[in-house]
């Protein structure tokens, strides 16, 4: 039994939302964050993001594919999970899940298809037998790679990004809303919650791509583009500043208003969450990467490539930890304080084994990378050889000229 | 009956299968899909709470009254609730809180929810008053738990109770988080949300909830707001009653007499 300091309502000593509910926003955060990176290229025309645009799309897709796993692992009756989609009770924030999830997934599927359509067709043409049949099926029967068709693809990708970006933001913002809309819990109940979740999603997505980009480039013996790392570091810095500002703002406001829950929340932060909030989330996870990224952003001209890449990588690693600890501090922290506002339960330790244990959580985090590897086998993330490299530009430009 | 009929008939050659037209196929598919939806949605079944024959829920609206001045902290109500409803160990559909208060400091506890009564305690301050407060689901009119249930398993009955349909509950725990009073829990045995039902299986038969039945001091009273002369209705209508956490505007239907400012 957990130890209680002060007085907690007797039913408030259980942490019903455990590690899996920490994993869920962590994973959907990568979905939204990675999509923001693709959108920066496809939608906002940031050319320096081109080398990571496809990687980001694939990453978003692979994390999306497993996003429901932690939820189903958590449910008391996972066999009834589909009821949320079939018979949603729309007054509940959770009931929108089916619509948002499937809507975004369709957009993502379509975007992947349009981005890869030309290569799918080319692979189908090149191959024989089962492989040919497989790619022919993926091509959905159209073999049109005329400049006009490719221009349509290009426009479709742009349009899908335009829908996908708000969809991704809503998918993740709504996760924050689920917490932000609980008026019973003062640690959750704030309209800032969806915004904080969204911004930290951007942080985790970009940080993951900084690492993935460098790792995949190293593995594929490709040069790491200076501008790409530099641009990602800059955006990462920007989103980090916004996130931490809002995270602090929420707490400062509670303290300044001296709200009825402040005395228990201040206890929560300085005792139960001292390590995970102050040390990990705020100092190690926010202040240190802030300084590292500040060096990359402000002293760019003086930095050797290797120094820049290392600084960006270390900052990104720390930020991945920061975002995880933020999810942990929100989800678990909110359940350590009793709604009596008089007591805290002792810290929560997840079990190692079991459905909601640490091993399953690690497996959930590794799984998208395995999927990413499979994705790369089927639809190569890097365009094959130099001749295929300028595929998009020449494909798009003649069409533009004719248009 | 079908068997004998079919046996009597001579085996006829199977008729040639009629081709199913596209229009017909689509219509059937839609019908089947609709049927599946209806089947899956079902009606809010009352689960294991057996309602008495001929009970009309539109004729009642229940309310609960707790007079904190009278509670002696015996814990009979907690024990009765556990026995009546098979409440799992470590979880509570009702519990009793002890307040030991001085102008400078206060101490609150509820050892095992008051299940075994209250052992004497020493406080580091000199108490100037102490009292017990029984707690339970407030069966709020504007309840956040029903609002947040993603599948509609938590619902409000017409006679004014908040219940959980254990056949539909997916065990997500959102209602547990949303209840400001800590009245709900996820049962470790059924893996669904559970809470006080005001002993719906009893009250629909004209009985009182188990906790009211056993209360030796009439601290806990249960009444029907649709009955003009109901003592609970009269007390709520004419007395000065309060509810827990009124600022949350959940409109609890559990009313308190003599509530102290220390109680949340």
Number of domains in chain A: 2
Comparing A172-181, B49-58, B80-89, B128-137, the range with the smallest average pLDDT is B49-58
Res B180: pLDDT: 97
- Coil vs helix vs strand at A153: helix
Inter-chain residue contact B171 with A75, CB threshold 8 Å: yes
Arithmetic mean of pLDDT, A276-284: 97
Query: Which of A307, A328, A349 finishes a domain?
Result: A349
Res A351: pLDDT: 93
User: Residue B245's closest chain A neighbor by CA?
Assistant: A184
Q: Please check whether residues A134 and A73 belong to one and the same domain.
A: yes
Q: Please check whether residues A248 and A133 belong to one and the same domain.
A: no
Confidence label for B51 from pLDDT (cuts 50, 70 and 90): confident
Q: Please check whether residues A169 and A57 belong to one and the same domain.
A: yes
Q: Please check whether residues A200 and A167 belong to one and the same domain.
A: no
| Residue from the list A83, A91, A341 with its beta carbon closest to the beta carbon of B170 | A83
- pLDDT tens for A139-187 read 998 899 999 999 999 999 999 999 999 998 888 889 999 999 999 999 9
d(CA B174, CA A178): 9
Q: Please check whether residues A212 and A297 belong to one and the same domain.
A: yes
Q: What's the length of chain B?
A: 264
| Residue from the list A88, A183, A334 with its beta carbon closest to the beta carbon of B150 | A88
Inter-chain residue contact A91 with B147, CB threshold 8 Å: yes
Q: Please check whether residues A99 and A174 belong to one and the same domain.
A: yes
Strand partners, B108: B99
Res B30: pLDDT: 66
d(CA A116, CA A238): 31
Res B182: pLDDT: 97
Inter-chain residue contact A11 with B92, CB threshold 8 Å: yes
Query: Which of A313, A328, A349 finishes a domain?
Result: A349
Arithmetic mean of pLDDT, B175-202: 97
Res A177: pLDDT: 95
pLDDT, averaged across chain A: 92
Q: How far is CA A27 from the centre of its chain?
A: 6
Res B6: pLDDT: 42
pLDDT, averaged across chain B: 89
Arithmetic mean of pLDDT, A316-324: 98
Inter-chain residue contact B182 with A339, CB threshold 8 Å: yes
State both tokens at A180: 């932000």
| Residue from the list B95, B170, B264 with its beta carbon closest to the beta carbon of A77 | B170
Res A393: pLDDT: 42
Chain A residues at the B interface, defined by Cβ less than 8 Å, are 1, 6-7, 9-12, 14, 16-17, 74-78, 80-84, 86-89, 91-95, 97, 178, 181-185, 334-335, 338-342
d(CA B243, CA B256): 6
- pLDDT tens for B127-179 read 999 999 999 999 999 999 999 999 999 999 999 999 999 999 999 999 999 99
In angstroms, the Cα distances linking B106 to A267, A271, B109, B238, B259 are: 17, 21, 10, 31, 15
Contact A292, A314 (CB under 8 A): yes
Confidence label for B20 from pLDDT (cuts 50, 70 and 90): low
Q: Please check whether residues A174 and A192 belong to one and the same domain.
A: no
User: At residue B11, does pLDDT exceed 60?
Assistant: no
User: At residue B105, does pLDDT exceed 80?
Assistant: yes
Q: What is the CATH number of domain B57-257?
A: 3.30.70.20
- Where b means 16+ CB within 10 Å and e means fewer, B236-245 reads beeeebebbb
Res A96: pLDDT: 86
User: At residue B114, does pLDDT exceed 90?
Assistant: yes
Res A1: pLDDT: 72
The residue whose two tokens read 């094959």 is A384
Res A396: pLDDT: 39
Res B37: pLDDT: 53
Inter-chain residue contact B264 with A341, CB threshold 8 Å: yes
User: At residue A384, does pLDDT exceed 90?
Assistant: no
- pLDDT tens for A352-375 read 999 999 999 999 999 999 999 999
Res B45: pLDDT: 45
Arithmetic mean of pLDDT, A295-314: 94
Res B1: pLDDT: 41
User: At residue B21, does pLDDT exceed 60?
Assistant: yes
Rounded to the nearest angstrom, the minimum Cα separation between B150 and chain A is 5
Inter-chain residue contact B183 with A11, CB threshold 8 Å: yes
Res A381: pLDDT: 93
Query: Which range marks the domain in which residue A7 is found?
Result: 1-17+187-349
Residues above pLDDT 90, as percent of chain A: 87
Inter-chain residue contact B182 with A12, CB threshold 8 Å: yes
Res A197: pLDDT: 96
Res A386: pLDDT: 46
Residues above pLDDT 70, as percent of chain A: 95
Contact B100, B123 (CB under 8 A): yes
User: At residue A198, does pLDDT exceed 60?
Assistant: yes
Chain B residues at the A interface, defined by Cβ less than 8 Å, are 37, 40-41, 90-92, 95, 97, 108-110, 112-113, 135, 144, 146-152, 168-174, 176-186, 190-192, 248, 264
Rounded to the nearest angstrom, the minimum Cα separation between A180 and chain B is 11
Comparing A86-100, B73-87, B92-106, B111-125, the range with the smallest average pLDDT is A86-100
Q: Please check whether residues A225 and A368 belong to one and the same domain.
A: no
Q: Please check whether residues A64 and A170 belong to one and the same domain.
A: yes
Strand partners, A350: none
State both tokens at A274: 């001292």
């Amino acid at each position: 039994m957990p130890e209680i300091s002060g007085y907690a309502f007797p039913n408030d000593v259980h942490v019903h939302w455990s590690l899996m509910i920490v994993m869920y926003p962590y994973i959907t955060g990568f979905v939204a964050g990675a999509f923001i990176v693709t959108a920066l290229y496809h939608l906002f025309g940031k050319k320096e993001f081109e080398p990571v645009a496809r990687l980001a799309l694939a990453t978003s897709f692979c994390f999306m594919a497993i996003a429901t796993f932690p939820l189903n692992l958590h449910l008391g009756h996972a066999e009834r999970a589909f009821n949320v989609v079939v018979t949603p009770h729309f007054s509940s924030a959770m009931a929108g899940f089916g619509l948002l999830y499937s809507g975004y997934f369709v957009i993502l599927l379509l975007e992947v298809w349009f981005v890869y359509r030309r290569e799918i067709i080319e692979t189908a043409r090149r191959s024989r037998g089962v492989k040919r049949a497989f790619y022919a099926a993926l091509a959905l029967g159209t073999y049109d790679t005329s400049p006009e068709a490719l221009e349509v693809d290009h426009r479709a990708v742009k349009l899908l990004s335009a829908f996908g970006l708000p969809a991704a933001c809503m998918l993740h913002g709504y996760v924050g809303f689920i917490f932000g809309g609980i008026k019973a819990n003062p640690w959750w109940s704030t309209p800032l919650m969806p915004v904080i979740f969204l911004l930290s999603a951007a942080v985790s997505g970009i940080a993951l791509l900084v690492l993935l980009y460098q790792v995949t480039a190293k593995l594929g013996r490709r040069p790491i583009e200076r501008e790409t790392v530099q641009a990602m570091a800059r955006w990462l810095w920007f989103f980090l500043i916004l996130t931490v500002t809002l995270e602090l703002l929420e707490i400062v406001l509670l303290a300044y208003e001296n709200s009825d829950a402040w005395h228990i929340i201040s206890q929560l932060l300085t005792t139960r969450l001292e390590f995970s909030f102050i040390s990990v989330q705020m100092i190690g996870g926010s202040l240190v990467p802030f300084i590292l990224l500040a060096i990359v952003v402000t002293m760019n001209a003086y930095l050797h490539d290797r120094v820049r890449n290392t600084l960006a990588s270390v900052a990104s690693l720390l930020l991945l930890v920061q975002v995880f600890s933020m999810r942990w501090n929100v989800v678990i922290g909110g359940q350590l304080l009793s709604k009596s506002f008089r007591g805290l339960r002792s810290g929560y330790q997840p079990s190692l084994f079991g459905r909601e244990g640490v091993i399953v959580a690690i497996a959930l985090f590794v799984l998208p990378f395995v999927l990413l590897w499979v994705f790369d086998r089927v639809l190569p993330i890097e365009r094959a050889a130099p001749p295929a490299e300028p595929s998009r530009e020449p494909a798009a430009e003649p069409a533009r000229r004719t248009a | 009956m079908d068997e004998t009929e079919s046996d009597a008939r001579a085996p006829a050659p199977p008729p040639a299968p009629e081709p199913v037209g596209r229009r017909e196929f689509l219509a059937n598919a839609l019908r089947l899909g609709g049927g599946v939806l209806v089947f899956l949605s079902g009606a809010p079944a009352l689960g294991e709470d057996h309602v008495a024959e001929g009970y009309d829920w539109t004729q009642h609206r229940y309310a609960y009254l707790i007079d904190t001045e009278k509670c002696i902290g015996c814990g009979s109500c907690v024990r009765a609730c556990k026995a009546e409803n098979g409440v799992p160990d470590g979880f509570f559909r009702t519990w009793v809180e002890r307040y030991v208060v001085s102008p400078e400091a206060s101490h609150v506890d509820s050892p095992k929810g008051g299940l075994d009564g209250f052992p004497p305690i020493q406080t580091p301050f000199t108490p100037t008053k102490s009292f017990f407060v029984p707690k339970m689901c407030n069966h709020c009119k504007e309840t956040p738990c029903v609002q947040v249930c993603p599948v509609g398993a938590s619902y409000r009955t017409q006679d004014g109770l908040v219940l959980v349909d254990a056949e539909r509950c997916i065990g997500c725990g959102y209602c547990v988080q949303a209840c400001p009073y800590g009245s709900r829990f996820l049962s470790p045995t059924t893996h669904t949300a559970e809470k006080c039902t005001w002993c719906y299986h009893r009250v629909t038969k004209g009985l009182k909830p188990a906790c009211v039945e056993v209360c030796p001091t009439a601290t806990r009273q249960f009444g029907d707001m649709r009955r003009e002369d109901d003592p609970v209705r009269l007390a709520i209508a004419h007395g000065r009653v309060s509810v827990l956490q009124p600022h949350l505007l959940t409109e609890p239907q559990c009313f308190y007499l003599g509530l102290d400012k220390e109680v949340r």
